[in-house]
Amino acid sequence: MKYDRQKAVEYAHKWAYLRNPEFYDFSDIGGDCTNFASQCIYAGIGEMNYTPLYGWYYISINDRTPSWTGVNQLYRFLINNNGPGPRGKVVRLSEIENGDIIQLKFSPGIEFDHTPVVVDRGRGTPDTIHVAAHSKDCDCRPLSTYRYIELRPIHIYGI
Spatial distance between the Cα atoms of 78 and 94, rounded to a whole number of angstroms: 19
Task: Calculate mean pLDDT across residues 37-59.
Answer: 97
pLDDT band of 158, cuts 50, 70, 90: confident
- On the question of pLDDT at 54 being above 80, the answer is yes
How is the chain split into domains, by residue range?
Answer: 5-18+26-158
Report the C-alpha dihedral over residues 85, 91, 103, 97, rounded to 10 degrees. -70
To the nearest whole percent, how much of the chain has pLDDT over 90? Answer: 97
For residue 151, pLDDT over 80 is answered with: yes
Mean pLDDT of 51-63: 96
The answer to whether 7 and 98 are in contact (CB under 8 A) is no
The string of pLDDT tens digits covering residues 130-146 is 999 999 999 999 999 99
pLDDT in tens, 6-15: 999 999 999 9
133 forms beta bridges with 138
Checking if the pLDDT of 154 tops 90, the result is: yes
**What pLDDT sits at residue 131?**
98
* Nearby residues of 122 by Cβ (< 8 Å), 6 or more positions away: 128, 129, 130
Q: What is the average pLDDT score of the chain?
A: 97
**pLDDT of 156:** 98
